[in-house]
Amino acid sequence: MPVISVQKNLDELTITFVADFGAPLTRLWNAYADPRQLERFWGPPTYPATFIRHDVAVGGRSIYRMTGPTGNQHYGCWLWTSLEAPRSFAIVDWFADETGAPNTDLPAMHARFQFDATDTGSRLTTVSLCDTLEQLEQLLLMGVLEGTCEAMSQIDSVLADLAAFASDRAVEAQILSDTQVRVARVIRGSADQVWRAHNDADLMKRWLLGPDGWTMPVCEIAANVGDSYRYEWAPEDGGEGFGFTGELLESEAPHRAVTTEAMIGMDYPSTLNELTLTPVEGGTLLSLVIIYASAEIRDAALATGMTDGMETSYERLEQMLDEAAPV
């Protein structure tokens, strides 16, 4: 049991948890920075979490869903208020709807997570602050102490699972809901490098090619929010190509971009693509949440083998970085 201390202070309106782990500090930090790992322990065992957004940046948001044993769902949202990787971060954590909008009928908490190295591994100290005594008492009645202890008891197994989140793993696709898929991969490069590689047309034409034998003759970048982009690929042998177009809806360099995407010449509904770049041990975690119009369209897209083409492109990008290409 990693939790070694639980304290509630009714005068200061705080709840403090202290937990010790046998893993290094950076490994523990990565478990919170990587949504694939975080969702394996954020909720109690009977209410596992799924993170559908996770911005590890000041001003960013994280939206998660907790699913109960009968299929009942509850949403929460974080607003990131401070970040000093890999030592600490602070958030406002509130109950929410599926969009992340706060549920004002339930209390919010201001929480700070402090990570410290120890002689045997690492220590996590979390301090949660409520605005009023009534809010604190409400959370205690809802079982926040027991639920948090149960959730943190799962962290050790996540920290021990090094292979599942190693930086040399290929692209993986995870179904988050009937319409949402998260594609994730650690790119061996900095967030600035990976961001630039996605926003420089000359660089994109060198790595964003999918399987061998293709070229990218058209690469029109959306430089500013509201701009449109257009990407087209053509086979080297002169056969029929394809392309995508869309609009840049959000851009927060170098960690988040949101775009629409529609296949040129097809009448399929466009997708919404949320790209997040997070510095982690071993490089940058690229997380792409794709929102489709329906489960049928989602499954059809996955059946094309799109992750295989993405993996080939990311391998090509890493080779550019290894060769010290100007990215």
**Calpha distance 317→209 (Å, rounded):** 10
Q: Of all helices (H) and strands (E), which one includes residue 274?
A: strand 271-280
Query: Which pLDDT band holds residue 163 (cuts at 50, 70, 90)?
Result: confident
pLDDT digits (tens, 9 = 90+) for 97-155: 999 999 999 999 999 999 999 999 999 999 999 999 999 999 999 999 999 999 999 99
**Calpha distance 45→146 (Å, rounded):** 12
* Placement of tokens 């959370």 in the chain: 139
Burial status of residue 237 (CB atoms within 10 A of its CB: 0-12, 13-18, 19 or more): exposed
The confidence score (pLDDT) of residue 238 equals 85
Fold classified for 3-161: Alpha-D-Glucose-1,6-Bisphosphate; Chain A, domain 4 (3.30.530)
CB 259 within 8 A of CB 273: yes
pLDDT digits (tens, 9 = 90+) for 239-270: 899 999 999 999 999 999 999 999 999 888 99
pTM for this prediction: 0.93
Right CATH number for 172-322 from 3.40.50.10880, 2.30.30.90, 3.90.226.30, 3.30.530.20?
3.30.530.20
Tokens of 40: 């394996």
**End-to-end Cα distance, the chain:** 45
Tell me phi and psi for residue 300, to 5 degrees.
-65, -40
The confidence score (pLDDT) of residue 168 equals 84
Tell me phi and psi for residue 50, to 5 degrees.
-130, 120
Q: Would you kindly state where each structural domain of the chain is located, as residue ranges?
A: 3-161, 172-322
